[in-house]
Structure 1
Amino acid sequence: MDKLYWLDQIKLQDRAKVGDKAFYLSRIMQRGYPVVPGFVVGAEVLQEFLETLNSSESLVADLPHSSLHLDVANWRQLQQVAGRLRQEIITATVPSPWVGKILTAAREWESNYLILRPTVMVSNSTQAVGNISGLLESVFCLCNEEAIALGLKRAWSQLFRARSLLYWQRLGTNLQQVNLAVLVQPIRNAIASGLFNANTSGWEIAATWGLEVAIANGEVLPDVYYIQPETGKLIEQQLGSKILAYRVDNTAAKDDLQSLPQSELALDNTCLVAYLLEETQQKQYALPENFLQQVIVLGNQLVNELGKKFYIKWTISQESVTPKLYLTQVSAPQSAIPHLQIIKGLGAARGRVTATAYVITANSSSKPEQLPQEVILVARTIKPDWLPLLQKIVGIITEQGGLTSHAAILARELGIPAVVSATDVTALIQSGDRLLVDGDRGEVSRMKEHIASEGIPQKWSARENSQLNHSHSSLPSLSPNSNSWQPIAPLSDLTRPQTVIATQLLLNLSQTSLIEQLQDLPVDGVGLLRSELMTLTILDGKHPNSWLADGRQAELLERWTEQIMQFARGFAPRPVLYRSLDWRSHELPSFPNVVQPSPKSVLGERGIFSYLVNPAVFELELAALAAVQKAGYSNIQLLLPFVRSVEEFSLCRQKVEQAGLTQVPQFQLWIMAEVPSVLFLLPEYVKAGVAGISIGTNDLTQLLLGVDREQEQLARRFNELHPAVMGAIAQLIQMSKDAGIPCAICGQAPALYPEIIDRLVQWGITAISVEPEAVERTYQAIARAEQRLILEAARRQIKGG
């Protein structure tokens, strides 16, 4: 026995070794459903065991290479052969290393009892096998070597029962086609157990007290609940006839059970005990109301996984502290079971979508001319200049890049489910494959054609989230006449009650196409307008330098101005913090006439240094901002990226003044706090005219920790939660408070790691800016954090009084 197959690690290629029951259960478990943990003793182990029995006198000497040439019409012969086969198996010895390996694994659960569930796959079968639960029954045993060895043999021997041999022969299936494995799971006493049967006509839930054995043996008439599938509402419930129940108890003796109807399984296992229910308990429904609702919710979720027709077994485990609901078995028509190949990556943008793959092979680095609509784009990496193409697609998968890569950022803003860092995905997937992209779990699943038709592209839309669809006029906003952030009227027009928050909630945006959808969100403005992504939609695939060289400066200025003005108009009077261009030129190879840095350069000519080297494009940006101001919009502020020194900032400020932007009293000039030198120079920046800072956690993290954000293996381990990064953020917030300027945060950290919002609020962050998809959960996280601070302050005041 080479290995055990753990449910949470079983792969598609393991299916024949673990059997269908364990395989389907593993698929569901790996998708996050509550499944009792377990591992599988593979089908190859039974073959090895039978080979140890082979001798000239053994009936199993011909197995599994024959079907024993039985005349199944001759019942006497069938019974004799089956009895002798089973006797040979039961009296044989299971190698002690096998039993030791199973016992060691089982002890991880700290359970005294195990259940061994036969799980079968029939290979090369042209005929449906059907339900074989009556042929192969679960075996209960104690968690010790002797009991495990006997339990294994009892599970295996069921393949050679008379009725089993009869079934396989009449089905036309040779025994060598039957792969029998054993699923081993811990078993704990249950409050209640039962079945959930879903079909097109309705849902039925059956429940009884204790373990599921009473229903399987037909010894009780369970309680039945009839559920309306469309609404999940209880239509009718019928109290069953439940006289006895089962539990596990290794202290019980058989003599204690003589007055009760016992199954063969109970008589053979002293750990499984049947007991009479109290009369009051017999008259009660076994499934508590709160767990009834949990079963209904679970069934509703499984409809999305398995279709409208399936069958599950569930149990409410009697845990030491809190009872929990678990799945113990999942059955469905094979057409409904997701026969998937799951490829793991990083979930970069939330949501799930099913569609056809369009693969750009790994050896292709050029931008595709066009993409089909409503496809899932699979590529080695996605460069910023691909943005116009992404408007047509419904999902993104990349081999490279981390959670702060351009592909991830673009996907989150556009509301496209995305998985990044999926190793070798361009080789594993072909164009035309039907895929399920799960951005929540970071999984890509290749699906059968008939399963995939249910997928609906999940584009993010504020208007589909009624809890967020309300006027912004009642929200906190940045006072246009002050450098301070002030809350105004309370939240009175929400569709459901919300808590007033004092911390500003802002949006990270770049696409004008989203303004109409997002302008009514409960946000205080745009905290990060990414100009480099915004302009890609107007540059027609050319670098701004090309426009200037061709004498088309006026045309480009008009386009640029109109783009910025749409944001100013859409969110007025709320502020829009426009971040000037922050391209890394090596990311844009399709733009001609641009001096390329070393291909190994991580940073390139980042930020305002490039403005000083090539001022023409920056001056064009400033002219566009001045034109927006002249059109009457005073809510546009300027955010300078990647500032390395006070001298650089001062030179840029001179250009800002020359453009006339500072003549508007409401105008503010901010800087990104992402280069670690800001930690030492912030007071000097404030003296030089910085009105506020916005912490860019993506670059601050990679520069503090020496981690390229595109190197996913490093980025997984060294992220924004590192104490050095959190310490730097805390220091920047405190320094801003000391200097009397606002401090926002616009990197991905609050959205990727919402647990840090508590600390940000406690430290005194002024504003948090996130992608649209993270608005609701960030709003709620801010509200909770502020409430905790208020409560703590009140408690301190009471104690002090």
Structure 2
Amino acid sequence: MEQLYWLDQIKLQDRSQVGEKAFQLSRISHRGYPVVPGFVVSAGVLRQFLENLNSSESLVADLPDSSLHLDVANWRQLQQVASKLRQEIVSAAVPEEWVNSIFQAASTWQKNCLIFRPTLSIATGTQSVGNISGLLESVFCRCYEEAIAYALKHTWSQLFRARSLLYWQSLGISLHTINLAVLVQPVENAIASGVLNANLSEWEIQAAWGLGLAITNGDVLPDIHSVQPDNGLVREKKLGNKMLAYCLDDDSSPSQSVLTVEKNCLVTYLLAESQQKQQALSTEYLSQVIGLGHRLMGELGTNFQMKWTITAANPVPQLYITQVNAPQPVIPNLKFIKGIGAARGRVISTAHIILDSQPKPTQIPKDVILVAPTVTPDWFPLLQNVGGIITEKGGLTSHGAILARELGIPAVVSLPDATKLLDPGEKLLIDGERGEVYRMEEEPLVGKTQEIISSPPSFSISPQLPIIATQLLVNLSQPSLVEQAQKLPVDGVGLLRSELMMLNILEGKHPVDWLLAGKKAELLTALSEQILQFVRSFAPRPVFYRSLDWRSPELPSFHDSSRPATTSMLGERGVFSYIRNPEIFELELQALADLQTLGYSNINLLLPFVRTVEEFEFCRQKVEQAGLTQIPQFQLWMMAEVPSVLFLLPEYIKAGAAGISIGTNDLTQLILGIDREQGNLAKSFDERHPAVMSAIAQLIKMAQAGGIPCSICGQAPALYPEIIDKLVEWGITSISVEPEAVERTYRVIARAEQRIILAAARQQLEQAKGE
């Protein structure tokens, strides 16, 4: 085994053997910064290990010199190859002398827990071209030989994950040019841990109790401290949602509140309520982190990231740096950036960057990849012809993500500082399913031809689909998609989003401004014509038109000039706004009535964001006054997205609600108290949370008891098909999804129904045998 490289002894010529992460830590360690001690198992050790793999598989036998020219578009093949390679590595034996060397070196710390951190560099010739984050994860283990061997192999095997192989192949990187080393460090219990993200204008310090794994895994929402870089002044403190923490699995771990014992040396434990309400960083420790950040500016420049931990050592706690990353000065040719995959598809094109300081554009060039801080619904008309979307903010259910999915445009969201990291006109590849962005060339491509490698997903459906009992509906807003969508195997339109549909006809003005300008008749005609395209194309299948849920913060350029501006995401939302100003709602009802007059009986109304029974009754009276209920087929439904519906549904049914449609996006954010537009909260915004799933189950059962249908039209079934089993089992009446998700949702529903039928048949058979 080649020598181990101790952090405080690494030299410049060792850089390719120890990787960028270890090299940068060593660099600042040499200059007196407090770095957790450690040593590196060099990249040469992995190469030697691969060369000695005893396998009959030629793919594995040639691994050290292989370039693995895979068809990365064939995801099944990619997964099979990755699984085979990783299995070969994990099942192979690591020479005893290697393991013993690592064990003996680690034993000098006299610590029971170790962390194995991947540290990577890509070599072209003799030059190292940078570190690549987001592909490889750290591994924890106990300090004994068997655990060390497993952790080492598990860390190495991540090099051959499907996502890693896709990355190497996409950039034409041969495996023999990849240097993967492993940084081994001791783990001590921590008072608090976190991240300092620094840039020229502002610092953000995230902090949580215990070890930093809670933040890395997204188990908590960390405290946020906004800091003025030049003077260290704390501008703002935001208390996070920190219900749990990680600590060592030893005598010091909590005895009464342990939640999970990890398959390593850590445990997860529940924090006391009093601790949850406290900032993890005291004023003293916050000052220490800020001071350390100021010192690092001299080494790394103004744009860097520092991960830190405050150990619970006796007698005095110590602040340590666990990782540094400086995208601009240290990694000038960053080629891979990780965000959240929001809309499927892959595309290569040039970047078109809109900065936060710039106003909303009047037009966007065709086929470019739009890079912006965020995308609000009023951008919708501008997005029709873009090739891809990248946003710095937002999560899977943010409006930018929803818009991209409806238009079939590949999109990656929650990619911090994308407008700063990427250059105008440079060539990018974005993978909207995996949330990955690749820089294809170092030189910008201004004026060069763009290349679209995959067109927006089509809505073509396999001709052979099984019969399903659960209704499948489609969410729509754009007339341009009607021709394709009407051919889908759906039972109708479960959600016609009025806000996005109307953006095509409003000419940049709020509907109220049309009325103030005396253009009510023109607006009514335009609205009727828009809705008609959906109603006519899907007849006799039902169309559920959701009336306007106009949210000012999402439509900043469509402000109602007759009312003061608001930044509240709740405020006068949904039907509450109809009570304050019923004119627009009455105009919508008149448009629906006009369609009934034309002979269309398949149009129904879905009320958004209903808070109280009184609000519903107000709307029902308006519906009756408009004459809509004179046609027996007409149905008045309401969205079930405000948690009060869990307590009031029987009263809504008595008041005339003919059905409900569960909006999982708003229901989730209101139950969990998480803004779905905040990408840094994306891991905690999860419709599969037990509280949300329990609410959905309760709504379905209550609807059944009240004798009304229950649909679901939020993003949850499309994003997490695994929950469809439960929805069908609980008795959901219908599921409504975007066009691109129709076929896979159809097949999941079919499998869920088949499992229920099979389970019932088996139960009957067992009962028959018992008799």
TM-score (norm 2): 0.61
Q: 1:372 to 1:799 in 2, by over 3 A?
A: same
Q: Pick one of 379, 391, 404 that aligns with 2:397.
A: 404
**1:673 touches 1:696 (CA, 8 Å); kept in 2?**
yes
Q: Pick one of 192, 202, 227 that aligns with 2:57.
A: 192
Deviations, residues 620-676 of structure 1 (Å, cap 9, x unaligned): 100111111111211111000011111111111111111111111111000000011
Aligned residue number for residue 461 of structure 1: 458
**Equivalent position SS for 1:730:** helix
**1:582 touches 1:606 (CA, 8 Å); kept in 2?**
yes
Q: 1:620-639, aligned counterparts within 5 Å?
A: 620-639=587-606
**Equivalent position SS for 1:590:** helix
Deviations, residues 680-719 of structure 1 (Å, cap 9, x unaligned): 1111111111110000011111111111111222342142
User: Cα offset for 1:455?
Assistant: 3.5
Q: Pick one of 362, 367, 373 that aligns with 2:366.
A: 373
User: Cα offset for 1:443?
Assistant: 1.6
Q: 1:24-43, aligned counterparts within 5 Å?
A: none
**2:6 touches 2:40 (CA, 8 Å); kept in 1?**
no
Q: Does 1:139 align with 2:48?
A: yes
Look up the equivalent residue of 2:418 and give its one-letter code. Answer: V
Q: 1:495-574, aligned counterparts within 5 Å?
A: 497-574=464-541
**2:552 touches 2:559 (CA, 8 Å); kept in 1?**
no
**1:402 touches 1:420 (CA, 8 Å); kept in 2?**
yes
Q: 1:749-764, aligned counterparts within 5 Å?
A: 749-764=716-731
User: Cα offset for 1:186?
Assistant: 10
Q: 1:17 to 1:250 in 2, by over 3 A?
A: closer
Looking at structure 2, the residues matched to 710 and 423 of structure 1 have their Cα atoms a distance apart, in angstroms, of: 14
Greater alpha carbon shift after TM alignment, 771-780 vs 561-570: 771-780
Aligned residue number for residue 616 of structure 2: 649
Q: Pick one of 617, 629, 650 that aligns with 1:683.
A: 650
Aligned residue number for residue 491 of structure 1: none
Q: Does 1:101 align with 2:39?
A: yes
Looking at structure 2, the residues matched to 382 and 758 of structure 1 have their Cα atoms a distance apart, in angstroms, of: 33
Q: Does 1:363 align with 2:292?
A: no
Aligned residue number for residue 110 of structure 2: none
Deviations, residues 289-320 of structure 1 (Å, cap 9, x unaligned): xxxxxx9x99997997257x979899xxxxxx
Greater alpha carbon shift after TM alignment, 686-695 vs 705-714: 705-714
Q: Does 1:786 align with 2:753?
A: yes
Look up the equivalent residue of 1:717 and give its one-letter code. Answer: S
Q: 1:409 to 1:767 in 2, by over 3 A?
A: same
Task: State how many pairs are aligned.
Answer: 518
Deviations, residues 707-750 of structure 1 (Å, cap 9, x unaligned): 11112223421421111111100000000111111100001111
User: Cα offset for 1:430?
Assistant: 2.4
Looking at structure 1, the residues matched to 535 and 668 of structure 2 have their Cα atoms a distance apart, in angstroms, of: 31
Aligned residue number for residue 341 of structure 2: 347
Larger Rg: 1
Aligned residue number for residue 423 of structure 2: 430
Aligned residue number for residue 268 of structure 1: none
**1:18 touches 1:41 (CA, 8 Å); kept in 2?**
no
Q: Pick one of 378, 382, 386 that aligns with 1:385.
A: 378
Q: 1:268-283, aligned counterparts within 5 Å?
A: none
Deviations, residues 209-266 of structure 1 (Å, cap 9, x unaligned): xx449x98xxxxxxxxx9999999xxxxxxxxxxxxxx979799xxxxxxxxxxxxxx
**1:17 touches 1:44 (CA, 8 Å); kept in 2?**
no
Looking at structure 1, the residues matched to 638 and 14 of structure 2 have their Cα atoms a distance apart, in angstroms, of: 59
Q: 1:16 to 1:682 in 2, by over 3 A?
A: farther
Q: Does 1:415 align with 2:408?
A: yes
Looking at structure 2, the residues matched to 397 and 230 of structure 1 have their Cα atoms a distance apart, in angstroms, of: 21
Look up the equivalent residue of 1:722 and give its one-letter code. Answer: H
Q: CA RMSD in A?
A: 4.0
Q: Pick one of 679, 697, 709 that aligns with 1:712.
A: 679
Q: Pick one of 412, 432, 438 that aligns with 1:439.
A: 432
**1:586 touches 1:596 (CA, 8 Å); kept in 2?**
no
Q: Does 1:395 align with 2:324?
A: no
**Equivalent position SS for 1:642:** coil
Aligned residue number for residue 170 of structure 2: 305
**1:18 touches 1:43 (CA, 8 Å); kept in 2?**
no
Deviations, residues 67-108 of structure 1 (Å, cap 9, x unaligned): xxxxxxxxxxxxxxxxxxxxxxxxxxxxxx99x8346xx9xx
Aligned residue number for residue 213 of structure 2: none
Look up the equivalent residue of 1:587 and give its one-letter code. Answer: E
Q: 1:770 to 1:16 in 2, by over 3 A?
A: farther
User: Cα offset for 1:528?
Assistant: 0.6
Looking at structure 2, the residues matched to 354 and 230 of structure 1 have their Cα atoms a distance apart, in angstroms, of: 14
User: Cα offset for 1:41?
Assistant: 7.8
Looking at structure 2, the residues matched to 555 and 501 of structure 1 have their Cα atoms a distance apart, in angstroms, of: 43
Percent identity reads 59
Unaligned 5+ runs, structure 2: 31-35, 76-91, 98-159, 179-332
**Equivalent position SS for 1:604:** coil
Aligned residue number for residue 173 of structure 1: none
User: Cα offset for 1:453?
Assistant: 5.7
**Equivalent position SS for 1:693:** strand
User: Cα offset for 1:466?
Assistant: 4.8
Aligned residue number for residue 588 of structure 1: 555
Q: Does 1:727 align with 2:656?
A: no
Look up the equivalent residue of 1:116 and give its one-letter code. Answer: V
Q: Tell me which stretches of 4 or more aligned residues in structure 1 moved more than 3 Å.
A: 1-4, 14-19, 39-46, 100-103, 185-189, 226-232, 247-252, 297-304, 309-314, 449-455, 592-600
**Equivalent position SS for 1:750:** helix
Q: 1:447 to 1:230 in 2, by over 3 A?
A: closer
**2:711 touches 2:733 (CA, 8 Å); kept in 1?**
yes
Look up the equivalent residue of 1:305 and give its one-letter code. Answer: S
User: Cα offset for 1:371?
Assistant: 1.1
Look up the equivalent residue of 2:428 and give its one-letter code. Answer: L
Q: 1:349 to 1:16 in 2, by over 3 A?
A: farther
Q: 1:249 to 1:453 in 2, by over 3 A?
A: same
**Equivalent position SS for 1:347:** strand
Look up the equivalent residue of 2:351 and give its one-letter code. Answer: A
User: Cα offset for 1:550?
Assistant: 1.2
Look up the equivalent residue of 1:347 and give its one-letter code. Answer: G
Looking at structure 1, the residues matched to 595 and 566 of structure 2 have their Cα atoms a distance apart, in angstroms, of: 37
**1:417 touches 1:458 (CA, 8 Å); kept in 2?**
no
Look up the equivalent residue of 2:455 and give its one-letter code. Answer: Q
Looking at structure 2, the residues matched to 726 and 44 of structure 1 have their Cα atoms a distance apart, in angstroms, of: 44
**Equivalent position SS for 2:571:** coil
Aligned residue number for residue 101 of structure 2: none
Looking at structure 1, the residues matched to 630 and 496 of structure 2 have their Cα atoms a distance apart, in angstroms, of: 22
Looking at structure 1, the residues matched to 13 and 422 of structure 2 have their Cα atoms a distance apart, in angstroms, of: 20
**1:115 touches 1:186 (CA, 8 Å); kept in 2?**
no
User: Cα offset for 1:344?
Assistant: 1.9
Greater alpha carbon shift after TM alignment, 521-530 vs 593-602: 593-602
**1:194 touches 1:313 (CA, 8 Å); kept in 2?**
no
Deviations, residues 331-366 of structure 1 (Å, cap 9, x unaligned): xxxxxxxx76222211111111111111111222x3
Looking at structure 2, the residues matched to 194 and 544 of structure 1 have their Cα atoms a distance apart, in angstroms, of: 63
Looking at structure 1, the residues matched to 414 and 54 of structure 2 have their Cα atoms a distance apart, in angstroms, of: 42
**Equivalent position SS for 2:503:** helix
**Equivalent position SS for 2:394:** coil
**Equivalent position SS for 1:116:** helix
Q: Does 1:738 align with 2:667?
A: no
